[in-house]
Amino acid sequence: MCGILAVLGCSDDSQAKRVRVLELSRRLKHRGPDWSGLYQHGDFYLAHQRLAIIDPASGDQPLFNEDKAIVVTVNGEIYNHEELRKSLPNHKFRTGSDCDVIAHLYEEYGENFVDMLDGMFSFVLLDTRDNSFIVARDAIGITSLYIGWGLDGSIWISSELKGLNDDCEHFESFPPGHLYSSKEGGLRRWYNPLWFSEAIPSTPYDPLVLRHAFENAVIKRLMTDVPFGVLLSGGLDSSLVASITARYLAGTKAAKQWGAQLHSFCVGLEGSPDLKAAKEVADYLGTVHHEFHFTVQDGIDAIEEVIYHVETYDVTTIRASTPMFLMSRKIKSLGVKMVISGEGSDEIFGGYLYFHKAPNKEEFHSETCRKIKALHQYDCLRANKSTSAWGLEARVPFLDKEFINVAMAIDPEWKKIKPGEGRMEKWILRKAFDDEEHPYLPKHILYRQKEQFSDGVGYSWIDGLKAHAALHVTNKMMLNAEHIYPHNTPTTKEAYYYRMIFERFFPQNSARLSVPGGASVACSTAKAVEWDAAWSNNLDPSGRAALGVHLSAYDEQVPSVGTGIPQIIDNVPLKMEVSSPGVAIQS
């Protein structure tokens, strides 16, 4: 990930303003420690902090077209850049950067080129011929982006809140799949897939089509000129990513550059479930496995940094971000600059356990659509900012546009969880990779029950956070919480503790409004409660209080591993998660 900052039409082209823009851009330096650049055209400023992944030698930004009339600063990766270059034979490219195609596509097609980009991205493009500009964010919101407005009528764009929160009168999250056009004076949605309308799809399930679509999504994300690896928790989704990547490296020229063995990374408390499962998968796949341990105190000590970098006070996001933040620092210390991760699968396939209670395929499908649309507020935000804090890039193949189109076109009747028929959550994904002749994973891994990441790293992690918060937040403070924090009032001591830290870093009203909560959190659990009233008693977002739902989901005799229903190990069911879109890091 890189960091971008733009100040557009600020009515100030002084040296003092330039110095201020540089100062604000440096707040994003953690996202791109390799190089920085600033382009000024009158009172327009485009700044960039670069993390060099493709063409490290010559791909510095901002980037230009041939006559430098079009200027662009980009955060992201364009996976189909080579194909796009071939489609522009009359254009001369200055660098080998994947992002170099953007200025030339604008020249050729105007503002309507964004849907041609296959990748994750946020960018600002300035046309100096008429001082018009456009801003765009990728389809799902994998890259973070914010927009702000100054009192002088200027528009500010930043990869993170900290780049604009002190200088804008108002700011907010830039919506995913949207484009801002100065010519039109507002936002419009450029990403309009069929599933977005939530119309019920009817395509029959074809396991090979789904398998090939995901393999393609993973392979295209291996585009890199620097060392990379995979995040491996030992759960289904990260294990599939690792398996596909290892197979590809073993049979292609990519192995000559980085070695035939894939590097994998896992984090957890000593003896945690994820560490054990990840080691088993790594041994099976033959990866060079890196196991990172942390203590509860290590995590607690990092909480303030995590909140500063992830820019939220959402409880589940902070719980899950902290181990990922600590792991990212270790990964970067090994010289790795890019990792592939497994976010998005549970949203696409209805992998959360409350989907057991979905009354029909229509509601099942509608809920998956809603959860995908909310990913940018939770899992995408966490994955992007936890890794970017240390100059590490995370790529997420489950959120590939083409793969989502395939997966969301499948008749949701196939996605429904039917224990009586041997169909557990995400059964169609598991079945697609259940290859007897050339197995991708061992059966018990392929059909392993999901762990919420914040539990999978060690069950004492959440308990330790709660105990720490209780030492710093009194009962009297909780009694007055609604007066201190009338918006998104914290209802637990842990939430209050995180809110205090967040407000210290980001005291502006726009900042607190940028974090989902209140009505959005109520919405996030509404379906779970509607489908099963027992969820209304679940006050802790880890999902522990709803253990009865997990037990009832598998209250029949459990068959052998591989039929689609997970085993109960030592009579203790594995942990579960609730319906909040921000609850789970993909395991």
The answer to whether residues 278 and 360 belong to one domain is yes
The residue to which tokens 């008749």 are assigned: 411
Strands, E assignment, 302-367: 338-340
| 289 located within any domain | yes
pLDDT tens-place values along the chain, 587 residues long? 799 999 999 989 999 999 999 999 999 999 999 999 999 999 999 999 999 998 888 878 999 999 999 999 999 999 999 999 999 999 999 888 999 999 999 999 999 999 999 999 999 999 999 999 999 999 999 999 999 999 999 999 999 999 999 999 999 999 999 999 999 999 999 999 999 999 999 999 999 999 999 999 999 999 999 999 999 999 999 999 999 999 999 876 655 555 668 999 999 999 998 899 999 999 999 999 999 999 999 999 999 999 999 999 999 999 999 999 999 999 999 999 999 999 999 999 999 889 999 999 999 999 999 999 999 999 999 999 999 999 999 999 999 999 999 999 999 999 999 999 999 999 999 999 999 999 999 999 999 876 555 566 767 999 999 999 999 999 999 999 999 999 999 999 999 999 999 999 999 999 999 999 855 555 556 777 788 777 666 656 555 444 444 444 444 333 333 333 233 222 223 232 333 333 333 33
Strands of the sheet containing 186-189, edge to edge, are 63-64, 70-78, 119-127, 132-137, 178-181, 186-189
Range of the domain at 86: 3-192
336: number of Cβ within 10 Å: 19
| Neighbouring-strand partners of residue 288 | 263
Strands of the sheet containing 228-231, edge to edge, are 288-293, 263-268, 228-231, 338-340, 393-395
451 within 8 A of 273, measured Cβ to Cβ? yes
The β-bridge relationship of strands 132-137 and 146-149 is unpaired
DSSP 112-157: GGGGG--EEEEEEEEETTTTEEEEEE-SS--S--EEEE-TTS-EEE
The β-bridge relationship of strands 63-64 and 70-78 is antiparallel
| Neighbouring-strand partners of residue 89 | none
The answer to whether residues 176 and 316 belong to one domain is no
The answer to whether residues 180 and 253 belong to one domain is no
Query: Which residue, of 192, 216, 239, is where some domain finishes?
Result: 192
The residue to which tokens 């799949």 are assigned: 177
DSSP 496-530: HHHHHHHHHH--SHHHHHTS--THHHHHHHHHHHH
Q: Among this protein's residues, is 2 annotated catalytic?
A: yes
| Neighbouring-strand partners of residue 291 | 266
The answer to whether residues 229 and 184 belong to one domain is no
The domain that contains 407 carries what CATH number? 3.40.50.620
Q: Looking at this protein, which amino acid is placed at residue 99? A: C
What residues contact 398, with CB distance under 8 A and at least 6 apart? 214, 217, 237, 342, 343, 344, 345, 348, 586
136 within 8 A of 161, measured Cβ to Cβ? no
SS3 180: strand
The answer to whether residues 468 and 353 belong to one domain is yes
417: number of Cβ within 10 Å: 23
| 566 located within any domain | no
Give the HSE-up count for residue 253: Cα atoms under 13 Å, Cβ half-sphere.
3
6 within 8 A of 163, measured Cβ to Cβ? no
The answer to whether residues 124 and 238 belong to one domain is no
564: number of Cβ within 10 Å: 21
294: number of Cβ within 10 Å: 23
| 45 located within any domain | yes
Domain count of the fold of the chain: 2
The answer to whether residues 467 and 527 belong to one domain is yes
| 259 located within any domain | yes
User: Alpha-carbon distance 416 to 221, whole Å?
Assistant: 29
37 within 8 A of 48, measured Cβ to Cβ? yes
The answer to whether residues 427 and 511 belong to one domain is yes
The domain that contains 34 carries what CATH number? 3.60.20.10
| 586 located within any domain | no
Candidates 2, 10, 99, 266; catalytic one:
2
| Consecutive H or E run containing 266 | strand 263-268
pLDDT at 483: 97
Chain centroid to Cα 199, Å, comes to 25
| 572 located within any domain | no
150 within 8 A of 6, measured Cβ to Cβ? no
| 198 located within any domain | no
User: Alpha-carbon distance 399 to 274, whole Å?
Assistant: 23
SS3 37: strand
The answer to whether residues 154 and 256 belong to one domain is no
The answer to whether residues 108 and 245 belong to one domain is no
The answer to whether residues 188 and 237 belong to one domain is no
The answer to whether residues 152 and 256 belong to one domain is no
Structure tokens at 383: 């994955």
pLDDT at 58: 81
| 450 located within any domain | yes
User: Alpha-carbon distance 405 to 216, whole Å?
Assistant: 13
For residue 398, what are the CA distances in angstroms to 48, 451, 455?
28, 18, 22
What residues contact 125, with CB distance under 8 A and at least 6 apart? 70, 71, 72, 102, 103, 106, 133, 134, 135
